[in-house]
Structure 1
Amino acid sequence: MKLCVIVPLWALLTLTQQAPSDDKCACELTNSEKAFPHYKLSGVKENVSKCNSNVTPHKTMELESLLLGLDRRLPQLLEDVSLLEREDDGELYGVISLQVIENEMSEIQLLMERLNSTTLQHQRLTAATAEQLEDLRAEMQDLETYDTSQVMKTQQANQRLKRDLDQCQNGQPAPSPTHPPPGNCPHGQFVNITGPRVHTVGEFPGAYKYGAWGRDPKPEAGKESWHWLVMLTVGNKFSNYVRLYSSLSSLIVGVSIPGNVLISPSNPTTNTIQGPNIVIYGEALYYNCYNQDAVCRFNLTSKTVTTVQLPKGTRFNSKGNFCHLDECYLFTDLDLATDESGVWVIYTTNQDFGNLVLSKVEEGEPLRLGQTWHTSVYKQGVTNTFMACGVLYATRYVDKLTEEIYFSFDTTTGEQKFNLGIFIKKMSPNIQALNYSPVDQMLHAYCDAFMVSYKVLFEEMY
C-alpha cells in the first residue's frame, strides 16, 4: 500500500521538474552547403565578354580582304612584266615600265607584310583564345559542383537526348517544303539582333547616300556567295543598273565581278529603279517602277522587265514615304522584301488612311499579287520594314545611334505587336534600306552610303 503511494509522487516530482520555463527557446541553424562563389561567376562572365570582343568577324574579313587584294595584284604584275619583255625598247619605255613595276612590287610587298603580320596576330589570338577557353571550361566545371539541385545535369541530359533524337530523325529524313508557309518559322521566334557584323563603304566611299544591298535567297548554282548593290545615282532617287560581286569580301574591298548589269541605257526613264527599297530573288531584281504605283521585276539573265499593278489608291512618287520627326526618306513609298517564302511588297493606300499594307508577290508569268493584309500602324511613323518567316517587322527612329524594331504583324495569325523593343546599333543616323536574308539570317542595312549587316537571333519554340 505504501509502494502505491510512492510511485505517483515520484512521477509528479519528475514532471514538475521538466515543466518549461517562461524563457524563449532559440536554436542555431547550420547550413552544410558551401556558399556560392558569385565573384568567380562574375569573373567568368567578364572573361567571356573579353573573349567575344577579341574574336570578331572583322578580323576574318581583314584577312580575306588582304588575300583578295594580293590575288588581284599578282596577275597584274605578271601582265606588266610580260608586256615589258615583249615591247622593251631599251630606253624611255623601259625606264617608265620598270618604274611602274617597281611601284607595284612595293605595294605587293606592303600587302605581304600586312598579311604576315595579320597571320601572326591570328595565330597568337588562336593560341590565347584556346588557353582562355580551357580555363573557362575548368572554372565552369568547378561552379557546377555547387549545383546541388542537379539543374545543369538535367539540362545536359536533355541536350543529349535532343541530339540523339535529331540523329535518329536524320537517319530517316522527312522531305521538307522548299518554301515554309508564311508565319511558320523553321528557326524559331525572332528575339534579337547582334552586330554590326559587317561595316564597309565599299568602292564608292560616301558617294551615294541612298541605295540597297544584300544576297539572292534563291541564286543560280555557283552564285551562292554572290552579293548585289544598287546605288541611286540621280538625285538620290533613281538608278538604271545593279552591281554584282562574287563574294562579300569582293564587295568590301570594291572588286566588282562581273560588274554592272544595265536595266536601261538612260536614267531616269521607263523601267528604271525608283527609290532605295530593292531586293533580288531568283535571279530577278524587284523594285518600284519609275513613276508608277507598280512593282517591276527585271530578269538578270534575259534582261526583260515585267510589272504588276498595285491596288487603286496606292500612294507613290514620294506621297507615302517612311519618316521620322526630322526627315522623310525620298521615294520610299514601296518597300520590297524577301524572306523564306519569297517576295513581298509593303506600301500604303488612300483607303487605308496611310496605314501599312502588305501583299505577297507571286512568282511566275504573269507577275501577280497574292494575298493582301492590312495593318494598324501608320506608315509615316515608320522608318523601315522587313520580312522574316512570314512576319512583317517595322522600325522607328530613336536617336542618331539607335533604331528600334518595335512592331510586328504575323500573316498566319493576324496578331499585331507594338512593343517588341529590339534595338539596332546604327553606324550612321539614317537607314535608307533594310533587307533580311533568309540564306544566313542576316539583316542588311544601307545607311548613308555605308553597308552594314546584323545577325538575326531566333529562339527555338517548344
Structure 2
Amino acid sequence: MFVFLLLLAVIGTVEAQRVPGQQKTDSCLCKINSSTWTFPAVQFMEVTRQVQICEDNLNEFEEKLRNTKAELPMMEATLQNISARMKAFGYLHTSALYSALHLQQLNQELEEIHQSVNETHMQNPNKETHNLLSELNKAKHDVQRMYRDDFFNLETMKKRLRDLNNRAQSCKTMPNDFRSTCHQRIMTRISSPSITKLNSISKSYISGAWGRDALLSSKEHYWEHCLVSGHKHGNTIRMYKSYEDFMANRNYKDEQIASSYSDKNAVQGSGTILYDNTVFYQCYSTAEICSFNITTKATKRMKLDGAGIDNKFPFCYYSCRDWTDIDLEADQDAVWVIYATEENHGNIVVSRLDPLSLNITHTWKTQLFKRSVTSTFMVCGVLYATRFVNTYQEEVFYAFDTTTGQEINTLSLPFEKVSAGIANLNYNPVDGKLYLYNDAYLLAYDTFN
C-alpha cells in the first residue's frame, strides 16, 4: 500500500495542507479537512448579478434597435407630410417675406398714397388728412435717405406703408352718415342658433352658402346656394319669397347663374353673397369677381389683382376648407371682398366694392394670416374673423375696423354649431343675423352690439 501526499492550496491564504492517502485497488483514497478553506460565495453572487445586469442592458438595447427600425418609416412619413404642408408657405421665402422690397416700388406706392390723400385733403381738409400728409412726406424723406445711405430697413418701412395706406383708405370717400348708422362699432355677443335645418338638396352637399338679400330696402328674399361639383363649383341659386317657404322647402325657384358647372361664369367656392337681387361670387377658376343680376340675367366681371386662388390662401385654422380663397360679404352700405395676396405675405386684404359698377373703391391690408382663421364676415365696416374651438363651438376672436384702421385681437365671442366645418358665414344688416353654412346644415344667429 502506497501513501500519497496531496498538497492543497488554501484559497485566501498562502498555506498548504498535506493530505495522506492510501491506494485501494485502482483508487486513491484520502480524507480532506475542508474547514481550512471556504468557497467565495459573496464574490460569486456579485459576478452573477453583474452578468445579469449586462444581459438585461443588452436585451434593452436590442429592443430599442427593433423599435427604432419600426419607427423610422413612421418618422420618414411624418417628415414628408410636414414638408408637403410647408410647401404651401414657400412663397414667404421666395416672393416676399425674406426678400428686400425694391425701393423704386416702395417709392411708387408712397407717391400713389400721397396723391390720394392730397386729393382728399383738397376736397375736405381736416386734421387727419393734414397729419397723414405730414407723415407721408416724412416717409418719402426716409426712402430718399435709404437711397442715399444704402440703408435697407425695408420690412419696417413696408409695415409703416401698410398702416399709412389703411388710414388713407379710411379718410377717402367714406359716407358722411357711416358712423351714425353704425354707432356701436364692435359686436358684443352672438345668440344661440335661432334657425337650424338641413339644406334642401342633400346632406352630402357640405359646401355652400345661404342667407337673405342684404340690401336694406330689399324684400324678404331668402336664398340657398350649394356647391354640387366636388364641393367646388355651382351654377344655380335657389330663391325663396318668404321665410315660411324657405323653412318648408316649397315654392322655390332655381335661378341659373351659368349654363354649366364649367362655364366661365360658373361659381367657384362657397364665398357667395346676395345683394340687391344680385349674386356676387368668385368666377370659375380665376382671380375675378362676378356679379349676376337675377332680374336682368346680366353678368359682370372684375379682376382681383394679386388674389391667391385654388387653395393658395383658403380658410384653415383647424383644417383647411377647400375653395375658400375669396369670400364675398355685404353690410349696410357696400359689398366687400376678403382675400389674401403674396404681396401682403398671405395676410387678409379687405376691399370695398361699388355693387353697381363692380369697382374697388377702398382696400385695407391687415396683419391677420388668412390660413389662421376659419371664416370672416363684415358688420358696419368692421371685419370679424373666427377660429375653431371644438366640433360644436366657434369663436370670434379678431376684428379690424376699416373706419379707424384699428385691429382688435382680444375678442372672445363664442357661438354654437352642429358640425366642425364652416363653408360660409355672412351677416345680414336687414335683420341683424349671422347666416352659417355648417357642413350641409343651415344655421342663423342674432347679434348684439
Same fold (TM over 0.5): yes
Where does residue 294 of structure 2 map in the other structure? 300
Q: String of CA shifts for 1:295-329, please: whole Å, max 9, x gaps.
A: 10001111111011112x2101221100023x211
| Match among 266, 271, 284 for residue 265 of structure 2 | 271
Q: Does 1:197 align with 2:191?
A: no
- Measure how far apart 1:203 and its partner are: 2.5
Tell me: CA distance 1:183–1:321, structure 2 relative to 1, closer, same or farther (3 Å). farther
Q: Would the aligned equivalents of 2:185 and 2:380 in 1 still touch at CA under 8 Å?
A: no
Tell me: CA distance 1:409–1:189, structure 2 relative to 1, closer, same or farther (3 Å). closer
**In proportion to residue count, which structure has more strand?**
2
Q: Secondary structure at 2:271's aligned position in 1?
A: coil
Q: Does 1:407 align with 2:398?
A: yes
- Measure how far apart 1:389 and its partner are: 0.5
- Which amino acid is the alignment partner of residue 331 of structure 2? D
Where does residue 446 of structure 2 map in the other structure? 455
| Match among 227, 235, 238 for residue 232 of structure 1 | 227
How far, CA to CA, are the matches of 2:371 and 2:280 in structure 1?
Answer: 22
Q: 1:19-418 to 2 correspondence within 5 Å?
A: 180-181=177-178, 185-186=182-183, 189-218=186-215, 224-257=219-252, 259-311=253-305, 313-325=306-318, 327-365=319-357, 367-418=358-409
| Match among 398, 420, 423 for residue 429 of structure 1 | 420
- Measure how far apart 1:358 and its partner are: 0.2
How far, CA to CA, are the matches of 1:301 and 1:414 in structure 2?
Answer: 37
Q: Secondary structure at 2:178's aligned position in 1?
A: coil
Q: Would the aligned equivalents of 1:203 and 1:255 in 2 still touch at CA under 8 Å?
A: no
How far, CA to CA, are the matches of 1:403 and 1:264 in structure 2?
Answer: 34
How far, CA to CA, are the matches of 2:332 and 2:277 in structure 1?
Answer: 16
Q: Would the aligned equivalents of 1:243 and 1:260 in 2 still touch at CA under 8 Å?
A: yes
Q: Secondary structure at 1:370's aligned position in 2?
A: strand
Say what the alpha-carbon RMSD is for the aligned residues: 1.9
- Which amino acid is the alignment partner of residue 274 of structure 2? I
- Which amino acid is the alignment partner of residue 247 of structure 2? I
Q: Flag the structure with larger Rg.
A: 2
Q: TM-score, normalised by structure 2?
A: 0.59
Identical counterparts, % of pairs: 34
- Measure how far apart 1:353 and its partner are: 0.7
- Measure how far apart 1:332 and its partner are: 0.5
Q: Secondary structure at 1:407's aligned position in 2?
A: strand
- Which amino acid is the alignment partner of residue 178 of structure 2? P
Structure 1 gaps of 5+ residues are: 1-176
How far, CA to CA, are the matches of 1:182 and 1:270 in structure 2?
Answer: 39
Q: String of CA shifts for 1:240-281, please: whole Å, max 9, x gaps.
A: 011001112211221143x11101221122110000011011
How far, CA to CA, are the matches of 1:339 and 1:333 in structure 2?
Answer: 20
How far, CA to CA, are the matches of 1:375 and 1:433 in structure 2?
Answer: 20
- Measure how far apart 1:188 and its partner are: 5.7
Tell me: CA distance 1:210–1:457, structure 2 relative to 1, closer, same or farther (3 Å). same
Where does residue 113 of structure 1 map in the other structure? none
Following TM superposition, the consecutive aligned residue runs of length 4 or more in structure 1 with deviations greater than 2 angstroms are 177-184, 186-189, 202-205
How far, CA to CA, are the matches of 1:387 and 1:436 in structure 2?
Answer: 6
- Measure how far apart 1:340 and its partner are: 1.1
- Which amino acid is the alignment partner of residue 379 of structure 2? A
Q: Secondary structure at 1:250's aligned position in 2?
A: helix
Q: String of CA shifts for 1:47-73, please: whole Å, max 9, x gaps.
A: xxxxxxxxxxxxxxxxxxxxxxxxxxx
Tell me: CA distance 1:430–1:301, structure 2 relative to 1, closer, same or farther (3 Å). same
Q: String of CA shifts for 1:193-222, please: whole Å, max 9, x gaps.
A: 1020000014224131000001112277xx
Paired residues in the alignment total: 276
- Which amino acid is the alignment partner of residue 238 of structure 1? H
Structure 2 gaps of 5+ residues are: 1-173
- Which amino acid is the alignment partner of residue 315 of structure 1? G
- Which amino acid is the alignment partner of residue 243 of structure 1? R
How far, CA to CA, are the matches of 2:261 and 2:413 in structure 1?
Answer: 38
Q: Secondary structure at 2:188's aligned position in 1?
A: strand
- Which amino acid is the alignment partner of residue 227 of structure 1? Y
